Amino acid sequence: MSMNNFELYKVFYWAAKTGSLTQAAKSLYITQPSVSHAIKQLEDSFGLTLFTRNSKGVVLTPEGATLYSYIEQSHILITQAEKKMAELKNLDNGELRIGGSDSLFKHYLLPFIEVFHQRYPGIRLHLIHGTTPEVISYLKEGLVDLGVVRMPISDPQLEVRQGLQLQDCFIAGSHYAGLNQKVLSIEELLQYPIILFSRSSRARMAITDLFRGYGYELKPEFEVGSVGLLIEFARKGLGISFVTREFVSKELEEGSLFEIKLDVQLPPAQVGMMTMRNMPLTTAASKFIELTK
């Protein structure tokens, strides 16, 4: 349907609905001759008469009534679409899909999610779990609106807004209490069983590369699938876990775990909010990003 046809159908709809060319003109803020001209164009294009005129105005012919049954449905759908757009703009409706890791959802995003939900209760939130490479794929496939990941990310298709700074560390429980307050070298640390996150996370890649730079290969005794298990294994004395300090702040504070001090500096990490560079953000995604600034 061309735009010209669309305008003609609008005129036809209001003429049929009101039964009056004058009323149709008023509804559309155009002149009555323009209404008559539009209807004639439509009738000529179909080669059919759509209205008959009487003393009260216009009445649909059987052919006109058939056309009206379709145009009326179109009008209802367009009206619903406009209503839906207004709802989305005002955040009364819709959804927001965020990709990221369990730990970043829990320790970084949760406060923002709570505020967002209080402000926009009509928006459904979907948290989709994955490693950084998985979240990047979800974003590119359109499965999520934004991703929360560890930086650095260098991909020309992606835009990353810098957020929280994190610090990784090694932690142990009471079984290794003798190491508390000591400063260990990498060589000394590697004499103990090391527990790492099993998946190809940014944190694991970073520590592997760091140790390799010092000439040591990091071979874990245990590989586990969640930050929760890293914490639990360390607490039970099964070894020394490598975790993000911010994710164990409660345990470090209460003393059920302590941080192993090393004679080398572990570099800090940044969390970033990631979106597609050339894709417009939904209103919900824009509002969520504003909250996290």
Phi, psi angles (nearest 5°) of residue 220:
-75, 150
* Architecture, CATH, for domain 3-89: Orthogonal Bundle (1.10)
User: Which residues contact residue 53 at a Cβ distance below 8 angstroms, ignoring those fewer than 6 apart?
Assistant: 59
CB within 8 Å of 114: residues ≥ 6 apart: none
Name the phi and psi angles at 97, rounded to 5.
Answer: -110, 120
pLDDT band at residue 98 using 50, 70 and 90 as cut-offs: very high
pLDDT tens per residue across span 110-159: 999 999 999 989 888 999 998 888 999 898 888 899 999 888 888 888 99
For 60-78, what is each residue's pLDDT tens digit?
999 999 999 999 988 888 8
Produce one character per residue of 158-196: b if its CB has 16 or more CB atoms within 10 Å, e if not. Answer: bbbeebbebebbbbbbeebeebeeeebeeeebbebebbb
The domains spanning 95-163+274-292 and 168-267 adopt the same CATH topology = yes
Listed in sequence order, the residues at least 6 apart from 61 whose beta carbon sits closer than 8 Å to its beta carbon are 48, 49, 50, 51, 52
Q: Amino acid letter at 80? A: Q
Task: Give me the CATH topology for the region 95-163+274-292.
Answer: D-Maltodextrin-Binding Protein; domain 2 (3.40.190)
Decide: 71 and 13 in contact? Cβ < 8 Å: yes
How many CB atoms lie under 10 A from the CB of residue 153? 17
157-191 confidence digits (pLDDT tens): 899 888 788 899 999 999 999 999 899 999 999 99
Q: Which CATH architecture has domain 168-267?
A: 3-Layer(aba) Sandwich (3.40)
Q: Please report the pLDDT score of residue 24 as a whole number.
A: 94
Question: What are the domain boundaries of the chain?
Answer: 3-89, 95-163+274-292, 168-267
pLDDT band at 270 (very low <50, low <70, confident <90, very high): confident
Q: Is the pTM of this model over 0.85?
A: no
More confident residue, 68 or 106: 68
Residue 193's pLDDT is: 95
Share of the chain above pLDDT 70, in %: 97
